Structure 1
Amino acid sequence: MRRLPRFGRAERAVHHVTALLMFVCLITAALLYFPALAERVGQRDLLKPVHVWAGFLLPVPILLGLLAKAFRSDLRRLNRFVPADWAWLRSRDRRAVRDGLGVIPIGKFNPGQKLNAAFTAGAILVMLGTGAILTFPDPWPDGWRTGATFVHDWLFLAIAVIATGHLWYALRDRDALTGMAIGTVPPSWAAEHHPTWYRELTDDDQTPAEPRS
């Protein structure tokens, strides 16, 4: 069965390694943050350095990914909001590419994916900065350390919620999940969810078929 290329090795590697490091950060943070979990698991002396090192390593996959042309191309797509994105956000069904006026010309990434990428990038930078203050507290005044603790703790909870939602949406769409796992997707899925990107790949100027019910 014919499939369309969606993500190359560089994009998939950046996503998988970043997701793994984020997962380690979230799990170790939960074990360190909640006393009941910390007491049950123990090993605090081990958990803390694992959490710190995973946090400091989070930007590394993205920086290395910049060496790949395909990854840089995806970043440009993610950083660009177009009128179709606002139409998609106003639609009732966030999975649909149709509104009352017809097909919404969604490209390779829908607005939800763009917003999630922006949040993740910003969260990594903020967590890296506040984490550095908490890991090396001596140069910083008390007010900075208190503020860093507050931001770090609450942003951890926000990231946990967003990451859970991201995973939930991914598990609901097997073709999207497969696209990130092996790099290819069925043409029917591309035409249904990302019609503009589908036409870019296939040079098909015709309107995609009605989405599956």
Structure 2
Amino acid sequence: MHIANPGRLAGWLAVTLVLAFGLLLAPAVLAQETADRETATAVVGVTPDTWRLVRSGEVDANFRDSRADSNYNLVNASGEGWRQWRNRWVSPFGLIAIGGMALMIAIFYLLVGRKTLDEPRTGRLLLRWSVLTRALHWSVATLFILLALSGLNLLYGKFVFRPLFGDAIWGAMVSASKVAHNYLGPLFGVLLVVLLLKLLRHNLPSREDLTWFKKGGGLTGKGHVEAGFANAGEKVWYWLLATAGVAVILSGFVLDFPNFGQGRDTMQWANLIHALGALGLTAVALGHIYIGTLGTEGSFEGMKSGYVDESWAKEHHSLWYEEVKESAETPPAPAQAPPPEDGTLPQRPT
């Protein structure tokens, strides 16, 4: 095949390629041009000095975020400050507090062991916790554990469960934790306040508390430390719940109900207060749970059945024991099955 003018054909091919390449780049060029035109119209003469002013807040209304009647700058420095506080201080604090408390409990248990009763049980029981108090305690305790687990998952779970299970399962876990935390939180707050009001009269400070602290709750010195219905250690836990716990509740309500007009700065402060208080209470709660279960003989029985043995009351709450010892009672022996009418003894099952 003879080509009359190869140069002209090559020229047409080059023009065709240039036009095709131009058509491919046209959408991106037009988009960039549109974006630049919009930026030039919305923010005229933007310079580095302008953005420094935006960051500092020394600008007029043209440089402010107008969404949802917001008065915040387009560059919100407080948001970055909140992120730094959360990642550099709050999260490490939680790991140190909770992990440190768990380690201390394990070391204490290995070195000291369980605190058993010095005197044998008498079998005579004293009523310590009413049905209503126990119902409130177990409801608050259950909600506390669920909220602690869901909160820890929201704060640290992505570093543990996301690499193990992948994004799909991790996403479902986060969603479930968030829903549970948001809906159970207000219920926990109401029940905790009711429980605190019911136990207030037992947790007022007294002179015996100083002696209890001096003797380390009986860990140092000889003899038992006198205490009323609640000892000084239990009172400390009560007032932590009444202060830090109430702060966690109030900050949680601020976060849970953003429809009452609180601003972004308020939400950021509420988040930090909520996280710090909740992490600190979770760490102390580990000690409370240990003492009330594995650490002290007889303590869990009291919150389970409502009754404690005389020996337990005399050893741990001697002043309260002196007030109520006359009401101690011996539980009835379990009923035995009547013998058969023919007089034969029942055979033991094989």
**TM-align CA RMSD:** 2.4
Match among 225, 236, 242 for residue 115 of structure 1: 236
Bigger radius of gyration among the two: 2
Deviations 1:84-120 (CA, angstroms, capped at 9, x unpaired) = 11111111x4246x957x7643101101101101111
Distance 1:7 1:63, change over 3 A: same
Q: 2:315 matched to 1:192?
A: yes
C-alpha distance in 2, partners of 1:42/1:125?
30
Match among 130, 133, 140 for residue 11 of structure 1: 133
TM-score when normalising by structure 1: 0.82
In the alignment, which residue of structure 2 is the partner of 1:26?
148
In the alignment, which residue of structure 2 is the partner of 1:128?
249
> Relative to structure 2, which stretch is displaced further, 118-127 or 164-173?
118-127
Match among 185, 195, 207 for residue 83 of structure 1: 207
Deviations 1:168-200 (CA, angstroms, capped at 9, x unpaired) = 212211301111111111101111111100000
Give percent identity, aligned residues only: 26
Letter of the structure 2 residue corresponding to residue 126 of structure 1: A
Q: 2:178 matched to 1:48?
A: yes
Asked if structure 1 preserves the Cα contact closer than 8 Å seen for 2:245 and 2:281, the reply is no
Distance 1:95 1:57, change over 3 A: farther
Total equivalences in the alignment: 195
C-alpha distance in 1, partners of 2:247/2:297?
32
C-alpha distance in 1, partners of 2:274/2:252?
7
In the alignment, which residue of structure 1 is the partner of 2:51?
none
Q: 2:187 matched to 1:57?
A: yes
Asked if structure 1 preserves the Cα contact closer than 8 Å seen for 2:252 and 2:270, the reply is yes
Asked if structure 2 preserves the Cα contact closer than 8 Å seen for 1:58 and 1:124, the reply is no
Letter of the structure 1 residue corresponding to residue 171 of structure 2: G
C-alpha distance in 2, partners of 1:65/1:133?
22
Q: 2:274 matched to 1:152?
A: yes
**Runs of 5+ consecutive residues of structure 2 not aligned to the other structure:** 1-122, 328-350
C-alpha distance in 2, partners of 1:116/1:65?
13
C-alpha distance in 2, partners of 1:183/1:165?
21
Give 3-state SS (helix, strand or coil) of 1:140's partner: coil
Letter of the structure 1 residue corresponding to residue 312 of structure 2: W
Match among 242, 249, 262 for residue 140 of structure 1: 262
Deviations 1:32-63 (CA, angstroms, capped at 9, x unpaired) = 11122463443222221211111100133345
C-alpha distance in 2, partners of 1:95/1:19?
27
Where do 4+ consecutive residues of structure 1 move more than 4 Å? 62-66
Letter of the structure 2 residue corresponding to residue 57 of structure 1: L
**Runs of 5+ consecutive residues of structure 1 not aligned to the other structure:** 205-213
C-alpha distance in 2, partners of 1:149/1:64?
24
Asked if structure 2 preserves the Cα contact closer than 8 Å seen for 1:32 and 1:38, the reply is no
Give 3-state SS (helix, strand or coil) of 1:82's partner: coil
In the alignment, which residue of structure 1 is the partner of 2:38?
none
C-alpha distance in 2, partners of 1:59/1:132?
9
C-alpha distance in 2, partners of 1:183/1:20?
18
Distance 1:185 1:64, change over 3 A: same
Letter of the structure 1 residue corresponding to residue 205 of structure 2: F
Letter of the structure 2 residue corresponding to residue 56 of structure 1: P
In the alignment, which residue of structure 2 is the partner of 1:210?
none
Distance 1:181 1:77, change over 3 A: same
